[in-house]
């Protein structure tokens, strides 16, 4: 039975990474075809709200706690950092980069979360133990790998494939032409998206402690982000013709909203509940492998030495960080077990001291209970 649950969790996380890889590829494709990233960012939370609202209504209408002003404000902050700003910098960065670079930089999220959580008191640096040292070293390695793949080009390691998606050719843009352009409009913005996502994780963690209604929370967050994104989008792109959706654009925004927000959120939450957040984080590098393969086969992306080496360094840093986190969690569990044992031993000792001294008890608490 346990083997079946482990296999199911593995399959679920692979499906989640496949979904995200598909989002990166199709979004890159439609933006190469002329879709403005501000328009793309505005449509996604709208479809996400429509698709997840029924779950919030039917599953949490009886158990939904009271929504206070403080919680509502925190959800508002989540909508800004987790969706609105995050998607703007992510999609603009993707437009001026490649799917492989973007999926590699996504692995910075755990490291950035750690760096933000330490000064806020949510995480301990713990440099005196090997777990804390591994987390800090892994973070430094991740950031160093991201800088390498962002700034260093190098020679072509894997060239273009002979066949590719014909629609990609019709867009008139080569994915490789935007892969190593301006650092600030490409990789740097993707790094900022990882940073804003890490900020969202910290705030969302605080919200979850006070408001135990995840579907309602994500619905409100997406609804607020929809309003924010539409207002900003129309300010930047006022022409209605730019908002028109042809079939491939419609597929992109519906897929991003329904599959990569509602569906992926549900599956990830299910897996976190059964296997823990550490297990879910370990699948992040799989997104890099899938995205690189799909971009190479469908979009004819070239893989350069800087991207390959930088990606490997990021993945090594990520697993070093996760190893330190696992060791820290194991140590905390061991301490908790020892404390519980000490409490049980103390309770038993106190009980024995309270028993009346009677030879007929023979030193057995059960005998004393019977006698009394």
**CA–CA separation, 248 vs 23, rounded Å?**
12
**Triad 120, 130, 105: Cα angle to 5°:** 60
Per DSSP, what are the bridge partners of residue 304? 156
Q: Give the Cα separation of 343 and 328 in Å (integer).
A: 23
Higher-pLDDT residue of 237 and 146 is 237
Mean pLDDT of 2-6: 67
Residue 126, Cβ neighbours under 10 Å: how many? 17
Q: How many residues does the chain have?
A: 372
Contact 90, 189 (CB under 8 A): yes
| pLDDT tens-place string over residues 279-291 | 777 788 888 888 8
Candidate from 99-103, 107-111, 162-166, 234-238 with smallest mean pLDDT: 162-166
- What was the pLDDT predicted at 297? 81
What pLDDT was estimated at residue 372? 29
Centroid of chain to Cα 125: 22
Please state the rounded mean pLDDT for residues 186-196.
90
Mean pLDDT across 190-214: 87
Q: How far is it, in rounded angstroms, from Cα 111 to Cα 318? A: 8
pLDDT higher than threshold 60 for residue 177: no
Decide if 95 contacts 41 (C-beta within 8 A).
no
User: pTM of the full predicted structure?
Assistant: 0.78
Rounded alpha-carbon distances, angstroms, from residue 312 to 174, 227, 268: 25, 39, 25
Locate the domains of the chain by residue range. Answer: 1-127+182-287
Q: What is the pLDDT of residues 304-361, one digit of tens each?
A: 888 888 888 988 988 888 888 788 777 655 555 555 665 665 555 455 555 455 444 3
């Amino acid at each position: 039975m346990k083997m079946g649950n482990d296999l199911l969790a593995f399959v679920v996380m692979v499906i989640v990474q496949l979904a995200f890889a598909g989002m990166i590829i199709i979004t890159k494709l439609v933006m190469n075809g002329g879709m403005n990233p501000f328009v793309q960012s505005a449509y996604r939370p709208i479809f996400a709200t429509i698709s997840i609202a029924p779950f919030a209504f039917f599953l949490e209408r009886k158990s939904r706690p009271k929504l206070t002003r403080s919680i509502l404000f925190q959800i508002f902050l989540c909508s800004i950092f987790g969706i609105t700003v995050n998607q703007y910098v992510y999609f603009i960065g993707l437009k001026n980069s490649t799917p492989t670079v973007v999926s590699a930089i996504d692995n910075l999220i755990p490291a950035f979360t750690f760096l933000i959580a330490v000064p806020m008191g949510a995480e301990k640096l713990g440099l005196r133990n090997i777990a804390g040292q591994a987390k800090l070293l892994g973070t430094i390695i991740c950031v160093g790998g991201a800088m390498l793949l962002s700034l260093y080009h190098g020679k072509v390691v894997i060239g273009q494939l002979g066949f590719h998606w014909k629609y990609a050719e019709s867009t008139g843009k080569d994915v490789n032409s935007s892969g190593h352009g301006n650092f600030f409009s490409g990789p740097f913005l993707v790094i900022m998206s990882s940073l804003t996502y890490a900020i969202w994780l910290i705030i969302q963690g605080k919200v979850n402690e006070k408001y135990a209604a995840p579907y309602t929370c994500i619905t409100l967050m997406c609804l607020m982000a929809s309003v924010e994104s539409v207002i900003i989008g129309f300010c930047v792109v006022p022409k209605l013709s730019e908002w028109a959706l042809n079939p491939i654009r419609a597929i992109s925004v519906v897929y991003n909203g329904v599959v990569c927000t509602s569906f992926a959120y549900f599956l990830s939450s299910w897996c976190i509940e059964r296997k823990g957040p550490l297990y879910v984080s370990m699948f992040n590098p799989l997104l890099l492998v899938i995205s690189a393969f799909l971009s190479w086969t469908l979009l004819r992306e070239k893989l350069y030495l800087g991207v390959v080496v930088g990606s490997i360094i990021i993945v090594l840093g990520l697993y070093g960080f996760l190893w330190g986190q696992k060791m820290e969690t194991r140590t905390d569990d061991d301490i908790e077990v020892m404390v519980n044992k000490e409490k049980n031993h103390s309770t038993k000792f106190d009980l024995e001291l309270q028993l009346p001294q009677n030879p007929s008890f023979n030193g057995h608490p059960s005998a004393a209970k019977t006698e009394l």
